[in-house]
Amino acid sequence: MNKRELELYIHIPFCARKCAYCDFLSFAAPERVYRDYMDKLLEEICGQGPNFQEYRVSTIFVGGGTPSILPADLIMELFATLSENFDISPDAEITMEANPGTLTMEKLEVYRQSGVNRLSIGLQSADDKELKYLGRIHSYDSFLKSFQRARQAGFKNINVDLMSALPGQDVHSWKNTLKKVMMLKPEHISAYSLIIEEGTPFYERFGEPQGKQSSVVCGESDADRGGALPAPKTAAEIAARAAVMTLPDLPDEDTDREMYHLTKEMMAAHGYDRYEISNYAKKGYECRHNIGYWTGVEYLGLGLGASSYTYGYRYHNTENLQEYLSLNLYEGGAAARDIEELSLEDKMEEFMFVGLRMMKGVSGSEFLDRFGQNMWNVYGDALKKLEQQGLIEVDAPMVRLTELGIDVSNVVLSEFLLDR
């Protein structure tokens, strides 16, 4: 039996402290809540497994939040339950997100024993001052120790997340961060610009900068974006909010783009291939999970607020923790909210939106196979216009963004919205 491909995303919402720029569905919680949450997550896994027996899981991504904040025994239970309820490919890519300072040798050994073969460590900056501005709880030194522990534990596929265009950051500082990280020779680097999101302390301080490019990073969850920022409740929260208001300004747009182009040049010089707008990898170490997102592979999200795209429907789980914990999930699907069946037009738009993030671009042949229509008949006017403007290049059957097109990718991608 030829099974369909499925990716799993597991959301762990807990973190030691909410960062000032973060708008993901994440929060600090007492350790006693971890057990309650994991019990419900395991229940959801058991409830959903029977709905996907005709699928084989090709990738698993455990994101958050900070999944590595959980005790080792809970992670062991998680992967044991996944294995019991889903058909996981023997060569599946299994990623665990982690933050420096939360990785112990005990946890790393349990990850390896549980089948985790890829780590994604959130560094963001090698400058301790910049880390403090972001509200990160770690230092560059604690990152180094975590990275070295991961190597000692036998991990041979490690991603490092970096962030540019930070408050007070200049090109020299960003170049120094890149140098320090590339000296460690991780297999994959995600390097993206800070995005100021509504509903965060950074939004109160900086507003909404013009010209920022949205980016998707390995494991990023799209749950719980936007909304008003709750009033601070504790003295620590009040002090943290006040500190954000004193941060230095963000780099201007020209400096932001200079950092982006410097990243591309330095990565290439050190053997990293840019395979997506903000992602770089040594040969053979591209993130299979994110490539699945960008190429239309079905994915099932498990856990609070996790998003899914299966059987032609897009939906997400409830984002309310108390509601999630109160549900009976053995029957499967009870946590799903905002269920939307994608139309043919929706699917064609998404094919173009996410596919053009990849450096190889989109294929007209694949478009025809998938939708039964010629891509040039559907998007001919937009493609001709963008090619004349130098924003895309056509090498039939492939269409890809040019360097200029990448710089204004949001504008380019908006051309692929279809009239309804």
| pLDDT per residue as tens digits for the range 115-137 | 999 999 999 999 999 999 999 99
Model pLDDT for residues 11-32, shown as the tens digit of each residue: 999 999 888 898 899 999 999 9
Q: How far is Cα 419 from Cα 398, in angstroms, rounded to an integer?
A: 24
* Whether 396 contacts 387, CB under 8 Å: no
Indicate the domain borders of the chain.
4-293, 344-420
What is the number of other CB atoms lying within 10 angstroms of the CB of residue 19? Answer: 21
- Counting Cβ atoms within 10 Å, is residue 289 exposed (0-12), middle (13-18) or buried (19+)? buried
What residue ranges of the chain have pLDDT lower than 70? 1, 208-237, 331-333, 420
Q: Which pLDDT score, from 0 to 100, does residue 221 have?
A: 37
Q: How far is Cα 184 from Cα 145, in angstroms, rounded to an integer?
A: 12
* Whether 300 contacts 308, CB under 8 Å: yes
Q: How far is Cα 279 from Cα 273, in angstroms, rounded to an integer?
A: 8
Q: How far is Cα 165 from Cα 35, in angstroms, rounded to an integer?
A: 38
Q: Which pLDDT score, from 0 to 100, does residue 419 have?
A: 77
Q: Which pLDDT score, from 0 to 100, does residue 242 have?
A: 80
Q: Which pLDDT score, from 0 to 100, does residue 362 have?
A: 97
1.10.10.920, 3.30.450.190, 3.90.800.10, 3.20.20.70: CATH of 344-420: 1.10.10.920
DSSP E strand stretches across 140-278: 158-164, 188-193, 273-276
* Whether 376 contacts 364, CB under 8 Å: yes
Q: Which pLDDT score, from 0 to 100, does residue 226 have?
A: 36
Q: Which pLDDT score, from 0 to 100, does residue 243 have?
A: 83
**Per CATH, the architecture of 4-293 is what?**
2-Layer Sandwich (3.30)
Q: Which pLDDT score, from 0 to 100, does residue 37 have?
A: 97
Q: Which pLDDT score, from 0 to 100, does residue 414 have?
A: 93
- Counting Cβ atoms within 10 Å, is residue 133 exposed (0-12), middle (13-18) or buried (19+)? buried
